[in-house]
A and B are shown apart, each in its own frame.
Chain A
Amino acid sequence: MLGLTHYTTLSIVLFLIGLFGFILRRNLIVMLVSLEIMLNAIIILFASISHFTKDISGYIIVFFIIAMAAAETAIGLSLVVLIYKKLKTVYSDEITNFKG
């Protein structure tokens, strides 16, 4: 039988995968995907807490987070498209116009 700890572990592992992807990868699209992975990890955390404590507010948080994730992705993708059009790159280490 799966318990709360299993879900928490899954969520932590997913979150760490996302965090490493966010820090180590240089492709902007992959960075956005990593952000989504981290948000989904948090969604799993809230849904599982809500399921095991029979408290409904966790599910409500999940819906808000899904909406926020959609908005965030929309903004991120539109920025990346603009950057690809204007600066001709999608790699974060090639965008170095500001220094110090």
Chain B
Amino acid sequence: MGITLNFSVIFTEIIFILISSLIFLTDKFIKNKNYSFYIAFITLIVGIFLALFTPFGNFTYAYQNDFSSSILKLFVLFGAILITLISYNYLQHFKALNYGEYYGLILFSLVGSFIMLSAMDLLTIYLGLELMSFPVYFLIALNYAYNKTSLEGSLKYFLMGSLGSLFILIGLGLVYYFIGTFTLPEISHKLIEESINNKILLLAFIFFLGGFSIKLSFVPFHMWAPDAYESAPVPITSFIASIMKFTAMATLVKIILIGFNPLKVQIGELLIPIILLTILIGNIMAIKQDNIIRMLAYSSIAHAGYAGLGLISGNYAGYSFSIFYMLVYLIMTIGIFSVLVFLANYKKDLLNIPNMAGLSKNYPFISFLILIFMFSLAGVPPTAGFMAKFYVFLFLIKAKYIWVALLAILFSVIGAYPYLRVLKVIYMDEKDISFEYKYGITFLIPVCLTAFLVIILGVYPQVLTNIIYKTIYLYVNLFFYPQ
């Protein structure tokens, strides 16, 4: 089989890059800055159709568009559409951010996540990771117009991110030194066929894990998360927490599944202390935070840990449920952050938890939405957060890691406190607050859609879990039983 240059496979990415470059070029000449929102929104809608109708195939060995990557791209695009809607809502009140570059950088970052989702070798995954994270440094730093200290958050994220990319490069170097190739299926086949020293490959994987754990904010590298989250504009915070983490987790699953498949049991054992510490530290540090965005940052550390529990279990269904967990987390995060965007628009100091007291008296709809999302984040039964946690723990117990599951459940009991505290302040404390507001359509669509999905997935998650399981199953079939 020769190298194929099939440009129809990368058509989505080409369109996205062209349109975001167009936004960068024309932004100087257009007075009404809302045009770039419409361009970005239409591009994302077109992107959904492109992701549905692009033919499956390879663009050289590096890039493969298949069932799994298309499905994951659809999820990412869904999240991105909701984020552009809440960004529009936010930028109407924070005019200094309202430039075309804002949406252009989001589109560039999405191209990076697409490249990561359908990359087939480690170099392309590295390049996609960089393309995904570079625009976000700028997007965080953009907020200096309102908050000078946001530069510090951006700088911390930048330094940690570049250290992470170095880790990935060292891992790549080790793989290239000892195996001589860096295509994922070939690594797996070489590992099965030849008796290469597995310890070295495990070391290489640890370096990869270091790089990815900076994006996923696993424990030794979690310190940037609260600062960067607090300093970013609120919609960008939801972008970092939802889409980037979803992409990083899906790609990590792909690396383990295709590249390091023979080592998956050792990798699971290796991950146990990291994941447990991540859950514990995320939950404990969330308790004492007063700023709700900082609290959600620590909770996002903990949630990445819960999703990582699926990787410990070391079987394919467990992997699919760790992607499912990240998907549910994407939906919940976008929901709660769109409510926070609403609060930040009309009264900025409501982002401090003690100031929220008595919100339920005058604003029952907003309070009810916060209730739904907080219950889902805490994992209370009729919501999607419960089902996601349930499946992850189920497959952990099936893989005979009962003590890990018990500890994780214990930590998640600790983790329920910060969410329930917000609800207690909103519903039980007495105080009068009132502010002028109006519900725009860009607020109602994301909020209602995500709240609906959170309830529906909590009652009937079967459809989505089946789809995600099938994508994983197809991958395994494709690489170990080729036609």
Q: Give residues in A with beta carbon < 8 Å to B.
A: 8, 15, 22, 28, 31, 35, 38-39, 42, 45-46, 49, 53, 55, 57-58, 60-61, 64-65, 68, 71-72, 75-76, 79-80, 82-83, 86-87, 92, 95, 97-98, 100
Contacts and interface: CB of A to CB of B under 8 A. Distances in A.
A95 B138 contact: no
Contact of A86 (B144, B163, B166, B173): B144
Given A58-B176, A64-B127, A86-B151, A75 B166 contact: no
A45 B173 contact: yes
Contact of B173 (A46, A60, A75, A76): A46
B138 to A, nearest CB: 7
Contacts of B123: 60-61, 64
Interface residues on B, range: 35 or more
A73 B127 CA distance: 16
A52 to B, nearest CB: 10
B101 interface: no
Contacts, number: 86
Given A49-B176, A82-B144, A35 B151 contact: no
Contact of A76 (B162, B165, B172): B162
Contacts of B177: 8, 45, 49
6 contacts: A72-B130, A75-B158, A79-B154, A86-B144, A97-B152, A100-B285
B130 A55 contact: no
Given A45-B173, A95-B155, A100-B226, 11 more contacts: A35-B163, A38-B166, A42-B170, A46-B173, A57-B176, A57-B181, A65-B169, A79-B155, A80-B155, A83-B155, A87-B149
Given A42-B166, A75-B138, A79-B141, A31 B151 contact: no
B288 A100 contact: yes
Contact of A79 (B127, B158, B176, B288): B158
A42 B152 contact: no
Contact of A61 (B130, B163, B172, B231): B172
Interface of B: 123, 127, 130, 134, 137-138, 141, 144, 148-149, 151-155, 158-159, 162-163, 165-166, 169-170, 172-173, 176-177, 180-182, 226-227, 230-231, 285, 288-289
A61 to B, nearest CB: 6
Contacts of B141: 79, 82
A51 to B, nearest CB: 13
A79 B226 CA distance: 19
Nearest to B130: A68
A3 B473 CA distance: 45
A86 B159 contact: no
Contacts of A79: 137, 141, 151, 154-155, 158
Contact of A98 (B159, B166, B181, B226): B226
A82 B152 CA distance: 10
A39 B159 CA distance: 14
